[in-house]
Chains A and B, each alone.
Chain A
Amino acid sequence: MPDDETPSTEPETPAEPTEPEAPTESAEAPAEPTEPEAPAESAEAPPTDPTPEPEPTPEPDPLLDPILAELRQRLGNGIVGSEVAGGDIWVRVDRASWKAAAEACRDMGFDYFCFLSGLDWLNNPNLSAEKVWDPEGGPEALPVPTGDWTTGVAGGETRFQVFARLYSITTHLGITLKADLDDENPSVESWTEVYRGADWHEREAWEMYGFDFVGHPGLRHIYLPTQFEGYPLRKDFPLLAREVKPWPGLVDLEPMPGEDEPAPTGDDPAADGAEVAAETAEATTEGGE
């Protein structure tokens, strides 16, 4: 995968990764084209229990459930995942049904085009400003993406997803559509014939993520210079500002005087709750004094 984004690289794969941790996994995922099956299988487990608190019977939504039912009727097997929660609806469609989904939505009254963009489900670079890339090492020293990503609402099996939002100005309902894209060659049909506003958004997604929109009248750079190499919004594109100097915003995460435990790094909600309790207790004691 990193070979794609750095066209100037030599054919040799990142054989000498400087990172000592897990060199086998990181080398496997991009190198062998058959390997994406394995992460896909591992990532397929979440769709059965997509969120940490899967409600067994989500309460029926009188406005959004009919939309989902009609979309199922129009697209059939094209819908591979969906979720209705919190007054919002997500529908994940097959890559081949991406344009058909737009046409179906347009015919169902979603007349307002909101946005279209991409998602890269790899993990974020570390917030604490650790260097992830040594510019001296050239493109080969770029961090190798690891295969353990989790996808969001309505599931997903691939690293890249294209997603878009449509809205109806008569019913005031919106819908978020997603589609999985091939990680090696992300390409999907263009929406420009369905929604004219998709033109610039697809140019942006092409430029920022490297998605190819088949049928787009002119995929040109929209923000970046014509000679720009790489796809900046991909997670493995290094943010140079963080590489050349330490991040001053780090002080926000450092403990205040009197707090002995460092800034939290774990993600378990229980610790979060305990922290809330600690915070409030601290506040009350301070108020008492």
Chain B
Amino acid sequence: MSVTTDWRQAAYIAGQAADARVNVELETEGTTLNIGPQHPATHGTLRIVVRLDGEQVVWAEPVMGYMHRGYEKLTEVRTYPQITTLINRIDWLGHFANEVPFILAAEKLMGVEAPPRAQWIRTIFFEMARISNVALFLGDMGVQLGAITPVFYAFRDREHVLNLMEAATGGRFHPNYDRIGGLKEDLPKGWVDECKGVMKRMRGFCDELDDLLLGNEIFQARTRGIGVIPKAVGLSYGVSGSNIRASGVDWDLRRDSESPLAWKSCDWKVWTHPDGDSFARYWVRLQETREATKIVDQLLDSLPAGPIMAKVPRIIKVPAGEAWEHTENPLGEMGYYVVSQGGLGPIRVKIRSASFNNISITPWLLRGVYVPDVITILASLYFILGDIDR
């Protein structure tokens, strides 16, 4: 390639080239771009192959399986108590929330119900898992859009919630605290008061992010109108949780299912947003974190006394049958379809994880958007790779 130093000649060539492109209606050569498997927006190892026309995506295809651990196969060769160790790791930021629907399904088959105190503490930990999970999203979304500060706030305040989890369960990320018929152990002394302080702190964190991001012009310009999921399309893809509530669907399993957990005894609100765009998804999650702190506060005030474990045999055998239980996890609807034939372990556990369906909409959603918006949309859909790959 020869380099011309005559600027007039260069301008002439550039003009000719521009004319030629205009004449064929700005046709450019397509590019295939691999986003991931190692990309901060993917929360793990999701790879998205996008076919670009200029800056615009014409076709996108997520490639999964880099973290497939075969949990559905592994559950078939384990006993029920051993399975909670596995399923902790599905959505590793929602740790405790993964255990609950499986334990509920096993309890349903066994006809066991945990005592009220256990249900209360379960609900508290469930909401704390939501807070620590969604807090990371609230900070991380800022990083994806170029604002570094929120993620530091998120990690700073989330640590307090994780410390509380560790104090009670012994595990920061993998509590393995839920048992068929109740809980592993009771709360430690002084935990309730400390938890109230942390909840207050988390509300302050939400206000901080509200100030930092929601009113920010750049944040709004980057998120408003980006990645709009219409209600009917979202439901057809099985999108759930905050993602579908941000599309105006007033559906929350904490309120709308017959769960034995204690949500019904609290006063709280299901937030929805009519827009369905990335901004709406962020907004809904921020409100939900606030609501979660309120739920925890109310449950701490009304925490009943009593045992934390129902009478169950040491070696647990679940009667034959099939049960489906689902809960409103931080990422959306998570459910387990447990098939038992009366043995020590289930013969089949279908794990319905939220992110799998939430991400299955991306080939449809990414079509026609610009490259920077791909990152916005992926960040706002909020998935955890372990929750996709299982």
Q: Do B79 and A249 touch (CB < 8 A)?
A: yes
Known A-B contacts A123-B347, A196-B237; the reply to A153 vs B70 at CB < 8 A is no
Q: How far is it, in angstroms, between the C-alpha of A87 and the C-alpha of B257 when the chains are bound?
A: 11
Stretch with Cβ within 8 A of B (4 or more), from A33-41, A182-190, A268-276:
A268-276
B233 interface residue per 8 A CB criterion: yes
A199 interface residue per 8 A CB criterion: yes
Interface residues of A in 231-286 (CB under 8 A from B): 232-233, 235, 237, 239, 242, 247, 249, 252-253, 256, 263-264, 267, 269, 272, 275-276, 279-280
| Residue of A whose beta carbon sits closest to that of B342 | A267
Task: Determine the chain B residues whose CB is within 8 A of the CB of A267 once the complex forms.
Answer: 317, 341-343
Known A-B contacts A124-B77, A169-B249, A269-B319; the reply to A88 vs B313 at CB < 8 A is no
Question: B73 contacts which of A199, A233, A253 (Cβ < 8 Å)?
Answer: A233
Q: Do B343 and A127 touch (CB < 8 A)?
A: yes
| Residue of B whose beta carbon sits closest to that of A176 | B324
Q: Do B339 and A119 touch (CB < 8 A)?
A: yes
**Most chain B CB neighbours (cut-off 10 Å) among A111, A112, A237, A280:** A112
| Chain A binding surface SS class | loop
Q: Do A124 and B322 touch (CB < 8 A)?
A: no
Q: Do B313 and A276 touch (CB < 8 A)?
A: yes
Known A-B contacts A112-B238, A114-B238, A123-B347; the reply to A51 vs B73 at CB < 8 A is no
Q: Do A196 and B232 touch (CB < 8 A)?
A: no
Q: Do B68 and A224 touch (CB < 8 A)?
A: yes
Inter-chain residue pair count (beta carbon < 8 A)? 147
Question: A197 contacts which of B73, B238, B326, B345 (Cβ < 8 Å)?
Answer: B238
Question: B352 contacts which of A115, A119, A247 (Cβ < 8 Å)?
Answer: A115
Q: How far is it, in angstroms, between the C-alpha of A135 and the C-alpha of B5 when the chains are bound?
A: 70
Q: Do B360 and A197 touch (CB < 8 A)?
A: yes
A150 interface residue per 8 A CB criterion: yes
Q: How far is it, in angstroms, between the C-alpha of A163 and the C-alpha of B347 when the chains are bound?
A: 15
Task: Determine the chain A residues whose CB is within 8 A of the CB of B64 once the complex forms.
Answer: 222-223
Task: Determine the chain B residues whose CB is within 8 A of the CB of A247 once the complex forms.
Answer: 77
Q: Do A264 and B317 touch (CB < 8 A)?
A: yes
A103 interface residue per 8 A CB criterion: no
Q: How far is it, in angstroms, between the C-alpha of A22 and the C-alpha of B97 when the chains are bound?
A: 45
The interface size of chain B toward A, counting residues with CB under 8 Å, comes to 58
Task: Determine the chain A residues whose CB is within 8 A of the CB of B240 once the complex forms.
Answer: 112
Q: Do A279 and B236 touch (CB < 8 A)?
A: no
Q: Do A264 and B315 touch (CB < 8 A)?
A: yes
Task: Determine the chain B residues whose CB is within 8 A of the CB of A153 once the complex forms.
Answer: 321-322
Q: Do A197 and B319 touch (CB < 8 A)?
A: no
A117 interface residue per 8 A CB criterion: yes
Question: B65 contacts which of A87, A119, A223 (Cβ < 8 Å)?
Answer: A223
Interface residues of B in 308-352 (CB under 8 A from A): 311, 313-315, 317, 319-324, 326, 333, 335, 337, 339, 341-345, 347-348, 350, 352
Known A-B contacts A125-B76, A196-B237; the reply to A152 vs B322 at CB < 8 A is yes
Task: Determine the chain B residues whose CB is within 8 A of the CB of A256 once the complex forms.
Answer: 314
B81 interface residue per 8 A CB criterion: yes
B78 interface residue per 8 A CB criterion: yes
Task: Determine the chain B residues whose CB is within 8 A of the CB of A112 once the complex forms.
Answer: 235, 238, 240
- Is the interface on chain A under 10, 10 to 19, 20 to 34, or 35 or more residues? 35 or more
Task: Determine the chain A residues whose CB is within 8 A of the CB of B389 once the complex forms.
Answer: 223
Task: Determine the chain B residues whose CB is within 8 A of the CB of A223 once the complex forms.
Answer: 64-65, 68, 389
| Residue of B whose beta carbon sits closest to that of A249 | B82
How does the 8 Å CB contact mask read for B229-245 relative to A, with 1 for contact and 0 for none?
Answer: 00011011111100000
Q: Do B343 and A124 touch (CB < 8 A)?
A: yes
Question: B108 contacts which of A86, A114, A276, A279 (Cβ < 8 Å)?
Answer: A86
B258 interface residue per 8 A CB criterion: yes
Q: Do B237 and A113 touch (CB < 8 A)?
A: yes
| Residue of A whose beta carbon sits closest to that of B340 | A152
Q: Do B348 and A252 touch (CB < 8 A)?
A: no
CB distance from B344 to the nearest CB of A (A): 6
Task: Determine the chain A residues whose CB is within 8 A of the CB of B339 once the complex forms.
Answer: 119, 152
B55 interface residue per 8 A CB criterion: no
A120 interface residue per 8 A CB criterion: yes
Q: How far is it, in angstroms, between the C-alpha of A200 and the C-alpha of B235 when the chains are bound?
A: 15
Interface residues of B in 185-221 (CB under 8 A from A): none
B166 interface residue per 8 A CB criterion: no
B92 interface residue per 8 A CB criterion: no
Q: How far is it, in angstroms, between the C-alpha of A17 and the C-alpha of B162 when the chains are bound?
A: 54
Task: Determine the chain A residues whose CB is within 8 A of the CB of B65 once the complex forms.
Answer: 221-225
CB distance from B308 to the nearest CB of A (A): 15
B251 interface residue per 8 A CB criterion: yes
Q: How far is it, in angstroms, between the C-alpha of A123 and the C-alpha of B356 when the chains are bound?
A: 28
Q: Do A114 and B333 touch (CB < 8 A)?
A: yes
Q: How far is it, in angstroms, between the C-alpha of A128 and the C-alpha of B233 when the chains are bound?
A: 46
Q: Do A113 and B238 touch (CB < 8 A)?
A: yes
Task: Determine the chain A residues whose CB is within 8 A of the CB of B361 once the complex forms.
Answer: 196-197
Q: How far is it, in angstroms, between the C-alpha of A269 and the C-alpha of B317 when the chains are bound?
A: 9
Task: Determine the chain A residues whose CB is within 8 A of the CB of B237 once the complex forms.
Answer: 113, 195-197
Task: Determine the chain B residues whose CB is within 8 A of the CB of A269 once the complex forms.
Answer: 319, 342
Interchain residue pairs with CB less than 8 A apart (10): A51-B320, A88-B324, A112-B240, A114-B335, A127-B345, A169-B249, A195-B237, A196-B236, A269-B342, A275-B313
Besides the known contacts A221-B65, A242-B77, A252-B79, 8 further A-B residue pairs in the complex with CB atoms under 8 A apart: A112-B235, A113-B238, A124-B347, A127-B77, A197-B236, A197-B239, A269-B319, A279-B313
Seen from chain B, the residues whose Cβ lies within 8 Å of a Cβ on chain A are 64-65, 68, 70, 72-74, 76-79, 81-82, 108, 232-233, 235-240, 249, 251, 256-258, 311, 313-315, 317, 319-324, 326, 333, 335, 337, 339, 341-345, 347-348, 350, 352, 356-357, 360-361, 364, 389
